[in-house]
Amino acid sequence: MEKVKILWSGITGRTGREAIELAKKSDNVEIVAGLSRSNTNYYNYDELDRIKEDFDVIVDFSHKDSFDKVLDFALKVKKPIVIGTAGLTEEQMKRFEEASNIIPVFRGGNFRFDVKKFIDEVVEYAKKSEKESFDLIETHYKTKKVPSETAKVVAKRVLDETGKKVNINSYLEYDELINDWKVDNLECRVVGFKELAENVLEIAKMMKDKTPSGVYDLDRLLKEQELIDLYNFLIEAKKGTYANGTAEKVNPTRRGSRDYEYTKDKWTYHDTYFAGTDFQGQEVVYQQEDTPIWGMVYYGRTLDENLSEEAMDNALRPALMQVGQDDTIPVRGPKEFENQGYKYTFEVTGDLTNFEGEETIEKENKKIYTLKCHGGIIRR
């Protein structure tokens, strides 16, 4: 895999220094150039047009006084930018929001994946709790500005999604770079800048191929990445089950059903169907063993009564093994496929979150089979 090349603004800052060391050991990212206000080993902010290194993404963890030059440069070279610079003015905030319609822009109150997990857990806890208000206790290093952006995000999301209130209690106690948050039995701690730099490098990698469409934050980025991971998993799972004539069935989950299952990492795909020439079935993808997150139902009919189930399998399976070969979402096969006199077509509208489609097989210009399907994301 080719490394994502990064231009880091604020390279001599605490996060930048950690990022340099991490990138040296990474197989995925590379810091090819840096910007600094004072260190002559790097470009300064009046030398942006002299940068000769090729890069994919700009990361800006500098100073608000340098921000406008960096943003102007990102717009000029049409590169994604990850913004971590603090203390921006309202005018600067407005400028990067406007820029997000021209280039991919990431900015959020939180860059840390562990903190994102904590925020999500607090929101889910608030939804299930009978309490109407919660105390968030945050304890930080002594120069931290409080309430923190993380605490504000927690309070806002809980209020927006549950109507309940979060009371923020902030304390500055640590001499070291430690940040703690706690809501009842839920806790999160981050220490130093190494983990932050690691997360920012991962965000930069994820931003490389994004398109301009409003400001990205960690919530949005991870949701989109989840769909990308689901997309790739479905291709692999479908090629490893029914479409693959050598795949073994698993024990049936319902009376009279035929079942396939495929598992990789945190994902499990399960396909259950009934009968043969005229058949009905359902596919479900589970995450973390037992959480259903995606599903599809389908019904297929053989229109030529002379065709056996085996003959239909021989016509259908090769087409379904082509899943992922074009830009069709990977829920059945490709748009078109021809094999041994059979012509397969699949028309689908929507995306993996919500879709419906129809596939057909023709032989000698006569339709011999049709299937309709629909499905999408499952939420609790």
Q: Which fold has domain 4-109+196-212?
A: Rossmann fold (3.40.50)
CATH of domain 113-191: 3.30.360.10
Q: What pLDDT is stored for residue 289 in this prediction?
A: 72
Q: How far apart are CA 339 and CA 258, in angstroms?
A: 26
- For the entire predicted model, the pTM comes to 0.79
Q: What pLDDT is stored for residue 203 in this prediction?
A: 96
> Are 274 and 280 within 8 A, CB to CB?
yes
Q: Where in the chain is CATH 3.40.50.720?
A: 4-109+196-212
What would the two tokens of residue 81 be? 């930018």
Q: What pLDDT is stored for residue 306 in this prediction?
A: 87
Q: What pLDDT is stored for residue 29 in this prediction?
A: 97
Q: Where in the chain is CATH 3.30.360.10?
A: 113-191
> Considering just the CA atoms, what is the radius of gyration of the chain in Å?
26
- Tens-of-pLDDT digits for all 380 residues of the chain? 699 999 999 999 999 999 999 999 999 999 999 999 999 999 999 999 999 999 999 999 999 999 999 999 999 999 999 999 988 899 999 999 999 999 999 997 789 999 999 999 999 999 999 999 999 999 999 998 889 888 998 999 999 999 999 999 999 999 998 999 999 999 999 998 899 999 999 999 999 999 999 999 998 999 999 999 999 999 999 999 999 999 999 999 999 999 999 999 999 999 999 998 999 999 999 997 788 999 999 999 999 988 888 888 888 999 999 999 999 999 999 999 999 999 999 999 999 999 999 999 999 999 999 999 999 999 87
